[in-house]
Amino acid sequence: MRVGQGFDVHALVEGRPLIIGGVTIPYEKGLKGHSDADVLLHAITDAVLGAAGLGDIGRHFPDTDPQWKGADSRMLLRAAYAKVRAAGWRVVNVDATVHAQAPKIGPHAAAMQANIAADLELADLSRVNVKAKTNESLGYLGRKEGIAATVVALLAAGTD
Ligand SMILES: Nc1ccn([C@@H]2O[C@H](COP(=O)(O)O)[C@@H](O)[C@H]2O)c(=O)n1
Ligand SMILES: C[C@@]1(CO)OP(=O)(O)OP(=O)(O)OC[C@H]1O
C-alpha cells in the first residue's frame, strides 16, 4: 500500500467558467489557470502521482507547454493515472476536500464523484469521497479570492 497527498489552489477571476471535479458550476467567477484550472482534479492528480513516487502534475504537464493551455483536467488526470497504473499501482480510495467559501459544492458532489471514479477506473463510487468546507470567512479563501482542494489517496499494487 502507498499513500499520497495533494493540494492545489487557484484564484477566482471574472470571465472564466468554474470547473471543479469536471463539473461546470454556475457562478459569477471561475478559476484562473493555464489549463481549465480544475483545482480538485489537480489535487487528486498530485495525490496519485505522489503515492506512486512519480513527482507532480507540473512535472508531467508543465504550465509552460502550450499543449496544456486550456486543457481538460479530466484528460490530465486520466493520463497521469495511466502512468501510475503502468508503474504497477491502482487506486484503493480517494478522499478530497474542496475549500470554498462559495459556491456550495454539496449539490455537485455526486457528479464530481462519478467523474473522478470514471477517470480512476473505479466501479465502486464509495472509493471516491468529495467533501467541502467554507473557510469561515477567514483569509484569502474566506474572502472568495480563490478555491483550494486537499486530497489523500491510497494505492495498492496490482491490477484488480
Ligand atoms: N463550499 C461549500 C462549503 C461547505 N459546504 C457544506 O456545508 C457544510 C458546512 O461547512 P462549514 O465550512 O460551515 O463547516 C459542509 O460540511 C458541507 O457539507 C458546501 O456544500 N460547499
Ligand atoms: C495543469 C497545469 C498545466 O496546464 O497548469 P494550471 O492549470 O495552471 O494548474 P496548476 O495546478 O497551477 O499546475 C499544473 C500545471 O502544469
90-135 pLDDT, tens digit each: 999 999 999 999 999 999 999 999 999 999 999 999 999 999 999 9
Ligand 2 site-directed mutation target among 41, 42, 64, most atoms within 8 Å of CB: 42
Whole-number average pLDDT of the chain: 97
pLDDT at 159: 59
Tell me: pLDDT of 160 over 90: no
pLDDT at 137: 98
pLDDT at 100: 99
pLDDT at 158: 81
Burial of 69 (0-12, 13-18, 19+ CB in 10 A): exposed
Cα 12 from Cα 89, distance rounded (Å):
34
| C-alpha of residue 92 to centroid of ligand 2, in Å | 25
The grid coordinates listed for 74 are 479530466
pLDDT at 28: 98
ipTM over 0.90: yes
High-pLDDT (> 70) share of the chain, %: 99
Please identify, by atom number, the ligand 2 atom nearest to the C-alpha of residue 71.
Answer: 4
Tell whether ligand 1 has an atom less than 6 A from the beta carbon of residue 104: yes
Fold of the CATH domain 2-157: 60s Ribosomal Protein L30; Chain: A; (3.30.1330)
Instruction: Let me know how long the chain is.
Output: 160
Tell me: is residue 35 an annotated ligand-binding position. yes
Taking residues 43-52, what's their average pLDDT?
Answer: 98
Residue 61 Cα distances to 70, 73, 75, angstroms = 12, 10, 11
